[in-house]
Amino acid sequence: MEIVLPQEIGDGRIDTLLKVFSELKKFSSEKHKIQLNWSKVKRISPAGWAILACLFDAAVEKKQVLDNIFVHKEFKNFPVIQNLLQISNFKKLPSPDVHDFSSSNTLLKGKMTSIDSLFMEQVRSECGKDLPEDLDFDCELIFNELMQNSVDHANAERYYLYAGLWLDEFHIGVLDMGITIPAKLEQKYTCPNDVAYLELALKSGISTRRQRPGGYGLSHTFDLLKENKGRLTLMSRNAQIRRYFKTRKTQRGPLKYRLNGTWCFVRFPLDKRL
């Protein structure tokens, strides 16, 4: 099967990328060659690198072959692309830091079962040197909240963090392939569908903990983005929510292909700040 990848790999329209995950799952019981055609790919946003890292992990875990063709030369120096091109050499999942890289405008880091309390220090020295102090502080808060969600609530064995300058925005996010938000919340709450579960997760005080209080991570992220007129994209299991705080618009609905994990993408506008 050949899948033609989109012009930009990132947190925009990602149906094609989710289709690859779906195909990997579909043929998990037998070897099946999936050919990724990169001929149209012109750009990979900061979020795109984290998505590709998750894609690599899914393929290795399912012991499936990904044949990458027409990869532009400019992408081949990045660890994630190198690993995808040599994926047949990986017989088991390597440490997620095999994909790590940093540049003047992007930072990607893979972690296992622990919080990276020094990630923002690296962001400041690599791709976020000129961030306004208040935005720097908000980014650190959001990272701490999202990492905590991945480790504590999703029980993710591995997750990816990214940060980077992209056009007139600063992008950050955390992606994991652990227990989904709807799967976690339905242990305690009842909602009609996965979109409703994601909406519920964004409300303050919603938690599956029985002893100590919790449930402030995503709602706190929501509040910080509202203050900064940013953008939030949240995807988990069968649903997605996109909130545009500058225009006060919301898009919500089912995903075309199921995501066995939780991806949280955040964008901050910089055009009037830097």
Instruction: Mark whether 86 and 115 lie in a shared domain.
Output: no
Instruction: Mark whether 232 and 148 lie in a shared domain.
Output: yes
With left for phi above 0 and alpha for psi between -120 and 50, is residue 248 left, alpha or beta? left
Question: Which segments in the chain show pLDDT lower than 70?
Answer: 27-31, 205-217, 272-274
Judge whether 99 lies within some domain: no
Choose one of 94, 118, 134: the last residue of a domain.
Answer: 94
Judge whether 259 lies within some domain: yes
The pLDDT assigned to 215 comes to 41
The pLDDT assigned to 212 comes to 39
The pLDDT assigned to 204 comes to 73
Instruction: Mark whether 70 and 138 lie in a shared domain.
Output: no
Global pTM value: 0.94
Instruction: Mark whether 236 and 166 lie in a shared domain.
Output: yes
Instruction: Mark whether 71 and 125 lie in a shared domain.
Output: no
Instruction: Mark whether 23 and 82 lie in a shared domain.
Output: yes
**Closest residue by Cα to residue 11 from 130, 131, 164:** 164
Range of the domain at 70: 1-94
The pLDDT assigned to 163 comes to 98
The angle that helices 46-62 and 15-26 make with each other, rounded to 10 degrees, is: 10
Residue 250's identity, in one-letter code, is: T
The pLDDT assigned to 203 comes to 87
Choose one of 94, 121, 137: the last residue of a domain.
Answer: 94
Judge whether 100 lies within some domain: no
The pLDDT assigned to 210 comes to 43
